[in-house]
Amino acid sequence: MESKLFHLADEGESGDDFIKQIYFELKHMARARMAMEKNGITLGTTVLVHEAWVRLEKSAPDQWRNRPHFFAAASEAMRRILVEAARRRLTAKRGGGEAAVPLDGVEIAPPADDERLLAVHDALDQLGSEDPFKAEIVKMRFFSGMENEEIAAVLDVNEKTVRRHWEVAKVWLYRALRGDG
């Protein structure tokens, strides 16, 4: 079965070469993102890439303008997969529906990486409602490890614009995560 992603292939590029290159790039993105995750996380880079691939195949690939645009969509897919996995782990960690047991006198551990990921996700949703452009830049940087040059190509702006918006977005997110609003 031929992939619907082939419309992104370069002229004269074979299907096998195209798929290998796309897969390699997705693995690179997943590795960059997973490097930020805590050790022992149950979701591996291969699983993340395969799940993202399935979701991308089901979406609207005919709307992707070019490869960078595709990788922006891949970044968003990976973000959603990681957030869903974090939510599942936190649900299980909080008892997964079991009866609560009082733990008087027990110290509360600092927030886990899953909680941090969900906090970033929520803050990013809020930023997206206020400034979708900055939110897109954060998604591509934080969730897929894309560089400013790659992001500029996806968003069809110059690299200086991406750098400027990234700096403002970082400050906004820092304040939001600290609770400064």
Write out the chain's pLDDT in tens, 181 residues: 445 555 555 566 666 777 788 888 888 888 777 766 655 456 788 888 888 888 888 876 667 777 777 888 888 888 888 888 888 877 766 555 555 555 454 444 444 577 877 888 889 889 999 999 999 898 888 777 788 998 898 888 999 999 999 999 989 988 898 887 5
- Rounded CA gap, 24 and 133, in Å? 27
Residue 82, domain member (yes or no):
yes
Specify the pLDDT at position 14. 65
Residue-range definition of the domain harbouring residue 137: 4-96+110-178
- Rounded CA gap, 55 and 86, in Å? 18
Instruction: Tell me if 152 sits within 8 A of 159, measured CB to CB.
Output: yes
Residue 104, domain member (yes or no):
no
Specify the pLDDT at position 130. 94
The total of structural domains in the chain comes to 1
- Which positions ≥6 away from 120 have C-beta within 8 Å? 142, 173, 177
Per-residue exposure over 125-137, b if at least 16 CB sit within 10 Å of its own CB, e if not: eebeeebeebbbb
Residue 103, domain member (yes or no):
no
